[in-house]
Amino acid sequence: MIAVIGIPRLRGEATDADVAGLAASIAAAAAAADSRVELVGKIGDDAAGDAALLALSRRGIGHVATLRDPARGTPVVQDGDDDPDDQTGAGAAAERAPVLDAGDVGLALRYLPELGVIVTVHVAPEVVEEAASAAGWARTTLIVVVEPGAAPPEGLPPDALALAADEVDELGGVGAAIGRYAAALDQGRPADAAYAELVAAGGSSVADPIA
């Protein structure tokens, strides 16, 4: 099973809504590649959050570890919100988004069975630390995705892979390549071709790939 740790976004409204953003893109691609996927994240306790949960289910992504935050809203972006610094689009959605707590993430990972791969997506260093700890006791693979230009957190396991990728990612972009790579690792398939696809898709490696 693959645990993707990050904040999903919602694109669109009502029955036409779908999940968006890098974490959702990774999770959707891994699920489409026939891996069991759970999204460890947080959304608002609002109508957009309800729509996000339905959209995750339609994509085959589990959300038993997706928490609801009554104080912050589910980030919603619309078509054309391609600039993460745009204060009326994706950037504003990120500013309003719920924030993951390291303790919640650690607890969630302990309750998820048979972890095969853990992927963290643009989360705080303390959340990555929890994920690294889980990768150790679960004897699983850790993939850490950071923002372009950022350095990976210190203290990662020696076999971890750190990648840089933009948050604004359509379903089918770099996030999809990361998801397919995670699925290959999860299923014990040769990962060389999946990693080559990831690099070709624009995933910028900031650490050595997993052997």
Evaluate whether residue 96 is within a structural domain.
Answer: yes
pLDDT attached to residue 95? 60
Q: For residue 137, what are the CA distances in angstroms to 8, 116, 130, 140, 142? A: 26, 12, 11, 8, 12
pLDDT attached to residue 211? 35
Evaluate whether residue 167 is within a structural domain.
Answer: yes
Structure tokens at 152: 């990976």
pLDDT attached to residue 108? 94
pLDDT attached to residue 34? 95
Average model confidence (pLDDT) across the chain: 84
pLDDT attached to residue 77? 85
Evaluate whether residue 120 is within a structural domain.
Answer: yes
pLDDT attached to residue 92? 47
Looking up residue 157, the CATH number of its domain turns out to be 3.40.1190.20
Evaluate whether residue 211 is within a structural domain.
Answer: no
Evaluate whether residue 143 is within a structural domain.
Answer: yes
Evaluate whether residue 150 is within a structural domain.
Answer: yes
Q: For residue 71, what are the CA distances in angstroms to 51, 96, 99, 104, 192? A: 18, 10, 10, 16, 43
Evaluate whether residue 210 is within a structural domain.
Answer: no
Q: What is the DSSP letter of 171?
A: T
pLDDT attached to residue 85? 40
* C-beta separation of 161 from 205 below 8 A: yes
pLDDT attached to residue 87? 36
Domain that holds residue 24: 2-205
pLDDT attached to residue 196? 79
pLDDT attached to residue 167? 85
Distance spanning both ends of the chain, measured CA to CA: 19
pLDDT under 70 in the chain at which residues?
14-15, 79-95, 169-172, 201-211
Q: How many domains does the chain have?
A: 1
Evaluate whether residue 164 is within a structural domain.
Answer: yes
